[in-house]
Structures are given as C-alpha cells and as structure tokens.
Structure 1
Amino acid sequence: MVGLYIGSTFGFSGKNLITLALGKKFQDDGLNIGFMKPVGAIPKEIDGKMVDEDAYKTTQYLQIQSDPEKLTPVLVSQDFKMKAYTGECLLYKDDIKKAYEELSQNKELMMIGGSGSFLYSGKYCQLDGYNISRLLGSKVIIIDRYMRELNYDYLIAAKEVLGDDLIGVILNDVPEYFMQETKDFIVPMLQNRQVDVLGVIPHDDVLKAITIGDLATQLGGKIISMHTKSDQIIQSFLIGTMQIENFMTHFHRNKNVAVIVGGDRSDLQLVALEGNCPCLILTGNIYPNDIILTRSEVLGVPIIVAREDTFTVAQKMENILNRTKLREEVKINQGCQLVNENLDYATLYKGLGLDPK
C-alpha cells in the first residue's frame, strides 16, 4: 500500500476537485483506494457524528465507506485550539496514525487530503502537511492555483524539503492570457529545478459558478424577488457605478453576469434587468422601487439586497467566487474531466510505484 498526500500552496487552491478527479481515475484504473483527511477545518454534524464536510462529500462521491471519526481524526475547534496553544495537540498525531493504519487496510492506495498551506497551516501544533506526510510515510503532490501569479518559489522550497517524496506539482486555474508564459517559461524552469509538473489546468468559469441562493447567504443579503430561481447559477459579476451609456456598453459585452449596483441607481437597475442579467444585487440596504420590482418579476430576474456599499460587496463577491466550493454534480463532473484531460498520469503512477490494471 502506498499513500498519496494531496497538498497545496494555500487554501482554496482546488484540492477537493483534484482529489475527486484523481480518486475517480484511480478507481477506473482498477485500484482499490481509501481516503482520509487528517485535519478538518469545516466541522459538520452528520448522522450524529462530527466530520469535516469536504472529506465526507469526497467519500460520498467516490463511494468509499469510512467511519467519520477515522475519516477526520482531528477537527479544528475551539477546544482543539486551546490544546494546541499548550502543546497538548501533539497527542493527536497518534490518533492520525492509528486512523490511517485502520483505513488503509486491504487498500492499494491511500489518498490523504490536505488542509490549507502544505508547509505552514498547522505548523504551530506540528500538524502541517509536511509533518503529517512524514508521519504517514506518504508521497506528496502539491497544487498551486494561479492568483495573479504562480508560487514557484514555494514549489521549489517544497522540493528542497521533500526531495524524492514530492512526485510533482499541479498548476491550477491558469487563465488563457497566462497559459503561454506558464508553458514556455515557468514549467521548464520548474523542471530544471527538479520539480516535475504533472499538469497545467486551465481556468474554467463554470467551476467558479455559485447559485444565487448560496450567494445571497454568503453576502449576508436577502432575495426579495423571484425566489424560485435561487438555484440558478452565475459565473461572474459586473459593477454598475459608471454613467449609463458606458455601463450599457460594458454590460452588453459581458453576458451571464450578476450586476452589482447601488440601491439608488434605478436607471442602471432597469438597464440590467432589460438586458436579461441573471441576478441583480442592490447595495446600501436600499430596496428598489415598484417599477424595478415589477420588471424583476415579469422578466424572471432575482434581486438580492445587500447591506454594505458597492465596493465592499464587490470585494466580497470576488472572494466568494474565488473560494466557492464544488457542490453541484455538473460542476464536479466537468471539473474532473478538465483535470484528467490535463494530467500526466504516467509520471504520477511512476512516482507512486503503481501500475494501472
């Protein structure tokens, strides 16, 4: 049995999606796999037991039977943090090791889900990715997501620390305008530093999509019309803070986006509605007039009222779309296909010392 730790340079880098894609591919190749997430940051009660929500959904998708207490032996709670500050959390290493040994019985490959940054998250209690991967004697892959740049210094540092135990890295969510530079310069540079690049995953707007209902919740806003369309998906947003002529030009160039506009700008609100935007987000906790409400219902466009100003809501929106979790099956299936079309499984299998059946 071999272990594979799936880490990342920072949180929300795409570990969940890539874990699902890898797991499905391994299963399709005939391998008997297991999964655990040693440290969970999103505790949720399921069937009377506390478990990390992402870890639980991974086992559900891959149809892996696991005891919730073994699946995520450490859950980050206030009690855990208090023990961590006093050094007591070092005892959790024994729980992780025991759970790993039990879950990996009769398995050919054990996938280990990381949390946050591989080198840093949990360092204060020695439960960072590096320490856990050493504890379990696993191989490692590290995901780096493009966020205005790639963290190649981090990846080189990880290689220096891990040596041959780092099978390779995955560069995720790379936009089209940065793809050529990535492939022509960054990938060769990493390869020259002995960092194998297992794949470059292109950006896909659908994977950042979020339902209107989830968006309203995360914005702390309220849907005031067309509640029946709260399951509709949006992929991006446009800020309506300009003169109406300029706004119309930008709006017609950017279809299928939610429009964020001040609650007092009924002129821009009407343009967005008539342009069939999927969702209208009004800021400043200002409710629309009757004309806007009526057009919203007639055209079938949900309206969210948010408390903060337009700038603050736009910042929140950017963070939400960058950190949105994979929940809808269509997003998971599309994401897995995108990942598997761009991964070098031959190098990955060689690093694991396994052969597909």
Structure 2
Amino acid sequence: MSGLYIGSTAGYSGKNMIALGIGLWLQKNNVNVGYCKPVGALPIERDGKMGDEDAFFMQEILGLDQDPTLVTPVLVTKDFKSRAFSGQCQDLMQKIKESFTQLDSERDVTLIAGSGSMYSGRYCGVDGVNVVRELGCKCVIIDRFDRELKYDYLAVMREALGENLIGVVLNDVPESYRDELDNHLLPFLERSGVKVLGVIPKDPLLGAIKVSDLAERLNGKVISAHGKSDRVVENFLIGTMQVENFLTHFKKHKNSAIIVGGDRSDVQLVALEGGCPCIILTGNLYPNDIILTRSEVLEIPIIIVREDTYSVAKKMENLLTRHKFRDAVKIKQGAQIVSEQIDLEYIRQQLGV
C-alpha cells in the first residue's frame, strides 16, 4: 500500500497545512495523489452525503472528488461515541482498510490524515499508531511548539512505529528557541533514530484570523467600518494599562487587535490613531461618537462583546492557536513554507514514487 500518514503529537499542530504542502508538491512533480481521513471528528453533510469538514476542504484544494463515505469511513458523532464506549463498535479497522484499499488502487500515493494526536481514537482501536501499523503505511509526525517541543513523545513514536516512521516535522518554532533546538534537541533526536525532516519557523500570518471571523467566534458583532471586516488579526494586546504604558507596548505590536473596556476612550483613540487592525470592546459597552467617527474615517472595525476583558483575552489566545487553515492566502503561504523547509525529496524517495 502506498500511503503516507500525516500525524501529530497533539491536535491543531498543522496537519492540514503540511499535508497540503506535501500533496501539492507531489502533484507538481506528476505524482497522482489521493487523500483520506480515516477518522473524522467534524461531521457535516454535503450533497446528501456525510463526511468530515477538513476532508471536504482538503479534497477541494487538491482537486479531488472522491466519495466522502470512503474518504472518511469512521465519523465521530455523539451516537458513535455512545456506542463505542459501550463496546458496540466492531470491525472499524477493517472498514478503514477496505476504504483505503479502494481509494488507493487508482493512485500513486494516498495522503492519510490523522485526527487529534497519534493516540486519539484509542478507545475504539482507530488511533494513529494502530492505523499506521494495520495499513503498513509510512508516517510523518508533526510536533508544534507549545512552550517546548514534545521530544519524549517523538522518541516513543520511533519505538512504536519503527521503520514506518519516515521522520518528524517541528512546527511553529520561535527564533528564541533555535539555540536550544540546534544544540540539544536535534542531536538528541538524531541519537534516538528520529529523522527531523524540517523545522518550520513561527509565522504570524498562518495563525491570523479575519475580523469578521473573530467577531463570530467571540459571539460579538462589528459595529463600524464593516467594509474592512476582512482585515487580518495576527495577535492581541490588552488595553487595561495607563495610556503612556499602553503606547509603549502598542508600538511593538502593530498588527494586534486591542482588547479594551468600552469605557476606556483614551486607549481606544490611541489604538485607532496607531492603525491597529481592529478594536474589541468588552462589557457590552458602546463607544462614544468621537470614537465611532474616527473608526469610520480610519476604516478600523470595532467589535462589541458581552464578556469581560480577561475572558475575551483567554478566548483570543485559544482562537489564534486553533484557528483553521482555510484562507487562500494562508494556503499559498503554507505550501511555500512546506516546500522550502521540509525535505520533500526525501519523503518522495521513501514512498518510492
């Protein structure tokens, strides 16, 4: 079987971006690429057929039109979980193998997308480790930097998967971590038999989110400069400090949304005049007429939310970490980064295509 499983040490690690980057590069090199996602955690219906949201998106970008029931043979719904936990889900792996065999028969290589971590789905026997073993496919594992890298996990994966593991990709690595990576972590992984296929540096654009999407995710609404709701937010800054201190921080974070109380017109005005991408006003407090007018003139949207500043900041942190890789700009940027930073030729050689 000519499959390449794209797994990760945790959810939201960049599997879609890297799978797309690999798939698009292989297609450019005249490789007939297929796609499947054996276990789907985001069930949706399209054209009368149930499938996984990520799988539909990936097929669209790769120019594929495969049967969604084959692409994602196991869909995790509430009913599925209930049956699985009570031991009623049998022969799921057999179903995955049959679907994969059918999809792969007409392809040079099939990309197999993981869901969650390599151990997600263990409760019903369809975790990534088990899928790789049962399909006998090759595997690439992504580890996204989150305060540190999960080096122990990667070493365990080498033992668990053996020769099936082609290597690992270290994603979203900040420049400040590079010395530790080069001097300690990379030599450790090499000694452990774990090949590092590439190190992808942190890129603010890939974690960015549109103002309109941000308003929706925060259960808020845009109240001004609606025509600029497609502006992109890369980070956020909390405007609870005195204006002088806020201005110092703001100059260093120009592409950050400003989260501030609706009663802090002094900070709001500084943020507007400084050209921030948007302002998020908390506590369901509307700004005064001067702020609204400047917002329209400068074309900087204002979002109103009900929650307090701290709660909104926590939500923002999660959103920027977990926002889906969907926009055309992100796809282009991500594909370029993958082609530049990952040893795709080595992967191709290991796949024999």
Same topology, TM > 0.5: yes
> How far does residue 293 in structure 1 lie from its aligned partner after superposition?
1.4
CA separation in 1, counterparts of 2:213 and 2:65? 29
- Corresponding residue for residue 283 of structure 2: 284
Query: How do 1:45-194 and structure 2 match up within 5 A?
Result: 45-118=45-118, 120-194=119-193
3-state DSSP of counterpart to 2:89 = helix
Determine whether 1:351 maps to 2:345.
Answer: no
Contact 1:55 1:71 in 2 (8 A): yes
> How far does residue 103 in structure 1 lie from its aligned partner after superposition?
0.5
- Corresponding residue for residue 235 of structure 1: 234
Query: How do 1:297-312 and structure 2 match up within 5 A?
Result: 297-312=296-311
Name the stretch that deviates more: 283-292 or 200-209: 283-292
CA separation in 2, counterparts of 1:89 and 1:297? 56
Amino acid aligned to 1:323: R
CA separation in 1, counterparts of 2:178 and 2:314? 26
Alignment length (residue pairs): 353
Amino acid aligned to 2:140: I
> How far does residue 43 in structure 1 lie from its aligned partner after superposition?
1.5
Contact 2:133 2:161 in 1 (8 A): no
**Unpaired runs of 5+ in structure 1?**
none
3-state DSSP of counterpart to 1:268 = helix
TM-score (norm 2): 0.97
Determine whether 1:16 maps to 2:16.
Answer: yes
- Corresponding residue for residue 205 of structure 1: 204
CA separation in 2, counterparts of 1:177 and 1:332? 26
CA separation in 1, counterparts of 2:292 and 2:19? 43
Amino acid aligned to 2:329: V
> How far does residue 33 in structure 1 lie from its aligned partner after superposition?
1.6
CA separation in 1, counterparts of 2:179 and 2:91? 47
Contact 2:9 2:117 in 1 (8 A): yes
Contact 1:216 1:222 in 2 (8 A): yes
3-state DSSP of counterpart to 2:90 = helix
TM-score (norm 1): 0.96
CA separation in 1, counterparts of 2:181 and 2:58? 30
CA separation in 1, counterparts of 2:146 and 2:90? 33
Contact 1:284 1:306 in 2 (8 A): yes
Q: Post-superposition, which runs of at least 4 consecutive aligned residues in structure 1 deviate over 6 A? A: none
**Unpaired runs of 5+ in structure 2?**
none
1:311-336 Cα offsets, whole Å, 9 max, x none, are 11111111100111111111111111
Contact 2:132 2:164 in 1 (8 A): no
> How far does residue 245 in structure 1 lie from its aligned partner after superposition?
0.7
Contact 1:90 1:126 in 2 (8 A): no
CA separation in 1, counterparts of 2:314 and 2:33? 40
Contact 1:238 1:258 in 2 (8 A): yes
Amino acid aligned to 2:206: L
CA separation in 1, counterparts of 2:82 and 2:328? 38
1:38-72 Cα offsets, whole Å, 9 max, x none, are 01111122222221111111111111220011111
Amino acid aligned to 1:149: E
Percent of aligned pairs sharing the same letter: 56
3-state DSSP of counterpart to 1:58 = helix
Name the stretch that deviates more: 2-11 or 49-58: 49-58
3-state DSSP of counterpart to 2:199 = strand
CA separation in 2, counterparts of 1:93 and 1:165? 18
Determine whether 1:268 maps to 2:267.
Answer: yes
> How far does residue 346 in structure 1 lie from its aligned partner after superposition?
3.6
CA separation in 2, counterparts of 1:249 and 1:157? 45
